[in-house]
Amino acid sequence: LMHLTKKLIEIRSMLISIDQSDALKLPSIVVIGSQSSGKSSVLEAIVGHEFLPKGNNMVTRRPIELTLIHTPAKPGQPAPVEYGEFPGLGIGKLTNFSDIQRTLTDLNLAVPSNEAVSNDPIDLRIYSPNVPDLTLIDLPGYVQISSLDQPETLKEQIAGLCEKYIREPNIILAVCAADVDLANSPALRASRKVDPLGLRTIGVVTKMDLVSPEQGAGILTGNRYPLHLGYVGVVAKASGTPGKGETKALVARRSESEYFKEHADAFGVGGESAMMVGTATLRRRLMEVLESSMASSLHGITNAVQLELEEAAYQFKVQYNDRRISPESYVAETMDHLKLRFQKATEHFKRPIVRAKLRSMLEDKVMDVLEQLYWLDKRAPELGALGQDPRLKPEDLEPYWHHKLEAASSLLTKSGVGRDSTIMVADGLRALIDSIAGGEPFNCHPRAAERLIEFSHMILRDRIGVTSDQVENCIKPFKYDVDVEPREWEAGRERAVEMYEKELTDCEKKLGEIKNKVGGGRRLGNLIGYVKTLEEKRQQREKEKAAKRLENVGNSGGAEEASSSISPLRQELEADDSPESYRYPPAQILDARVAMMYSERLHILKLRLAALKSKRCKAGPQSEAFCPEAFLNVVADKLAYTSSLFINIELLEHFFYQFPREIDSRLLYDLDRKEIVDFARENPVVRRHLDLQERKDKLEEVMKQLNSLSTLRADPQPKQRRQ
Ligand code: GDP
């Protein structure tokens, strides 16, 4: 039967770790008593060591769930070492009981003094060959008088806490001092509230040495306050100092047994009506009571566990189709998924794709250069006209246009292509990692996501400088001379046509938008006409001013200074002071200006398109000065080709090689078991899955143990039968 309690105590701890609901609770012994009733002394007498916090200032502030585990001494072997363990703290075995005492004191004092007591229990296990298998819960002592530095509500708080623990099926150990009238015992009073017949209350009467043996005996007979489980009298105070190798508890036990031996008659020791006295008797009594209480709970708890297990198994089937996971498997899966995703993304960084992207970036630059050097040039139409003239030979073209082309080409090649193209690709990589880090499942793992980003930035920082220098170096020849093959020329010309056609459509669209905005083509025409007259007037004024300035230079310098200090805006306002300038709202005048810009551009684009499509341009690279667009497009393509080549070697290959290795070596593989579990549990879906799975596993284990217990009980002598 001893075996049963031990097993049930194990089961009890497992059940507590499953959940705290009352349905799944096996009984424990709850120790209550007022302050200084001798509660700690009794508990220490049972354990045989001093280990509870001492002090005047109410040191038990949290319940202590004390599990005693008997470790039997094996014949012929040294006695097992006694030690304590705080499973919740992970500080290992404490073989020195004063360390246990210190830890308990610290844990108690960690409760803020304004809270005074906490409901959160401390789990303490003591393994020893000298303790019985018992579970005891030590609660803060009832206070009689609140002291000044304790909160007003302390009394109720403690009472509430005790009330919670003395509920069924727990056994109540009510500690009362012999020298205090039992009528005044808060422990008995509280117990009577929940257990009026005293069916699950044991009285412990301490300080028996402080009253006369007769008086003591009178209390123990329990006539005044009968308890079904009876009273046990103890003396739990050491008188005399411990000798060598003795503990205080040992001395206390000795003086206790001396006391009861001395007064054996009064307590009927050995007789028919023997009263229960002494710590040893108390221990035995507690074991009996706990055991029978647990045994009678067995049936109910087995049913309750069975029900819970069935529910958990059902949920596990329905929600997860019985698929088991582990934190490790989740980590492995996440890593595989990450690598796969990364692998797939590398497709977007294949050379032709990168080259096309770079070319489109460079084509934007070509447009800028063209706009800067050609379209704004007043002589631009002339170039088109020259191009159309079949009699004209390339060498007849003015040196002006040859210079212009050289300047354009050098603007393009010297615009920092190395840096720009490297950064463009690096930005692409960054965006890729950002999207991986921000997507499933890394959105649940902010720290891991942060590290992903960190590694990728580290690699990029490392490579960007080298790559951009390398690219710049390799495109250097194009800064001086670009050879164009006829095939390349034709491709460049076609791309230029496409580019212009796209630009043309864009321009027309924008112009159309403005038209709609101002209220139709006619109105826009009027507006433009008006803006043009304004423009002419302004030019007229400029001319007059210039003439005046010339005059002034002849006279003196002072007047000139004065006139130029008037702000241009004011000048314009003054000049436009005619009623006419109120005809259109300023926003529309602005629209008209933009529209004029677009239609000018349209005009140029049309001219250039005609030039590009002309026989002269189609003839080949010798027409480069007529068709700078085709030439610049060929240059852009060559730059894109060379850049993509070196970006691939210097940046992409490094990145795609190194990044997966960083993940391997630094993201998750150096995690210990706890970190792996924490990581997996960051994902709420995985957390729920693990929780249910764990609950089901634990319930299964408990069920197995409970079943083995019932066969143990049904089959009391299995060993003999086997023989
Ligand atoms: P707690 O506050 O209920 O935990 O009470 P303690 O165990 O700390 O005991 C309060 C005081 O009573 C201490 O000074 C103990 O030494 C003393 N005490 C406890 N048990 C006995 C006993 O059986 N006899 C005597 N004479 N004193 C005791």
Is pLDDT above 70 for 137?
yes
Residue with CA at minimum distance from ligand 1 atom 14: 36
User: According to the model, what pLDDT value does residue 362 have?
Assistant: 93
Is pLDDT above 50 for 436?
yes
Residues 500, 89: Cα–Cα separation, whole Å: 74
Residues 368, 356: Cα–Cα separation, whole Å: 19
Buried b (16+ CB within 10 A) or exposed e, 211-233: bebeebbebbebeebebebbbbb
User: According to the model, what pLDDT value does residue 560 have?
Assistant: 47
pLDDT band with cut points at 50, 70 and 90 for residue 151: low
Would residue 122 be called left, alpha or beta, if left means φ above 0 and alpha means ψ between -120 and 50 degrees? beta
Can you read off the two tokens belonging to residue 225? 């306050």
User: According to the model, what pLDDT value does residue 722 have?
Assistant: 42
Distance of alpha carbon 634 from its chain centroid, rounded?
A: 51
Residues 358, 346: Cα–Cα separation, whole Å: 17
Nearest to 535 by CA among 477, 491, 581: 581
Expressed in angstroms and rounded, the spacing between residue 41 Cα and the centre of ligand 1 is 6
Whether 292 contacts 228, CB under 8 Å: no
pLDDT band with cut points at 50, 70 and 90 for residue 465: very high
Is pLDDT above 90 for 696?
yes
Residues 228, 247: Cα–Cα separation, whole Å: 34
Residues 283, 382: Cα–Cα separation, whole Å: 116
How many other C-beta atoms can be found within 10 angstroms of the C-beta atom of residue 378?
6
Residue with CA at minimum distance from ligand 1 atom 24: 207
Q: Which atom of ligand 1 is nearest to the CA of 52?
A: 4
Could you identify the residue written with the tokens 């089959």? 715
CA dihedral sign, ordered 15, 18, 23, 25? positive
pLDDT band with cut points at 50, 70 and 90 for residue 240: low
Buried b (16+ CB within 10 A) or exposed e, 523-554: ebeebbebbeebeeeeeeeeeeeeeeeeebee
pLDDT band with cut points at 50, 70 and 90 for residue 318: very high
Task: Using DSSP, state whether 659 is helix, strand or coil.
Answer: helix
Residues 602, 493: Cα–Cα separation, whole Å: 19
Expressed in angstroms and rounded, the spacing between residue 140 Cα and the centre of ligand 1 is 15
Overall residue count recorded for the chain in this entry: 723
Is pLDDT above 80 for 686?
yes
Mutate to test the pocket of ligand 1, among 32, 35, 36, 50 (most ligand atoms within 8 A of CB): 36
Q: Model-level pTM?
A: 0.65
Residue with CA at minimum distance from ligand 1 atom 1: 36
Residues 362, 637: Cα–Cα separation, whole Å: 8
Residue with CA at minimum distance from ligand 1 atom 17: 38
683 or 151, greater pLDDT: 683
Site residues for ligand 1, CB cut-off 6 Å: 33, 35-41, 141, 206-207, 209-210, 235-237
Mutate to test the pocket of ligand 1, among 49, 162, 237 (most ligand atoms within 8 A of CB): 237
Expressed in angstroms and rounded, the spacing between residue 71 Cα and the centre of ligand 1 is 29
pLDDT band with cut points at 50, 70 and 90 for residue 581: low
Residues 451, 662: Cα–Cα separation, whole Å: 10
Residue range 375-397: mean pLDDT, rounded? 72
Expressed in angstroms and rounded, the spacing between residue 262 Cα and the centre of ligand 1 is 21
Expressed in angstroms and rounded, the spacing between residue 36 Cα and the centre of ligand 1 is 6
Q: Which atom of ligand 1 is nearest to the CA of 234?
A: 23
DSSP category for residue 122: E
Task: Give the ipTM of the model, two decimals please.
Answer: 0.97
Q: Are strands 171-177 and 201-206 parallel, antiparallel or unpaired?
A: parallel
Expressed in angstroms and rounded, the spacing between residue 235 Cα and the centre of ligand 1 is 9
Can you read off the two tokens belonging to residue 587? 């926003």
Residue range 101-122: mean pLDDT, rounded? 82
User: According to the model, what pLDDT value does residue 720 have?
Assistant: 47
DSSP 189-210: HHHHHH-TT-TTEEEEEE-GGG
User: According to the model, what pLDDT value does residue 209 have?
Assistant: 87
Residue with CA at minimum distance from ligand 1 atom 2: 36
Expressed in angstroms and rounded, the spacing between residue 137 Cα and the centre of ligand 1 is 18
Non-local CB neighbours of 612 within 8 Å, separated by 6+ positions: 493, 496, 497, 500, 627, 629, 630
Q: Which atom of ligand 1 is nearest to the CA of 44?
A: 7
Q: Which atom of ligand 1 is nearest to the CA of 239?
A: 26
Expressed in angstroms and rounded, the spacing between residue 261 Cα and the centre of ligand 1 is 21
Residues 570, 662: Cα–Cα separation, whole Å: 64
User: According to the model, what pLDDT value does residue 222 have?
Assistant: 79
User: According to the model, what pLDDT value does residue 506 have?
Assistant: 93
pLDDT band with cut points at 50, 70 and 90 for residue 653: very high
pLDDT digits (tens, 9 = 90+) for 17-65: 887 676 777 889 999 998 888 888 899 988 988 888 877 665 678 899 9
Residues 560, 563: Cα–Cα separation, whole Å: 5
Lowest mean pLDDT among 4-8, 25-29, 369-373: 4-8
Is pLDDT above 80 for 189?
yes
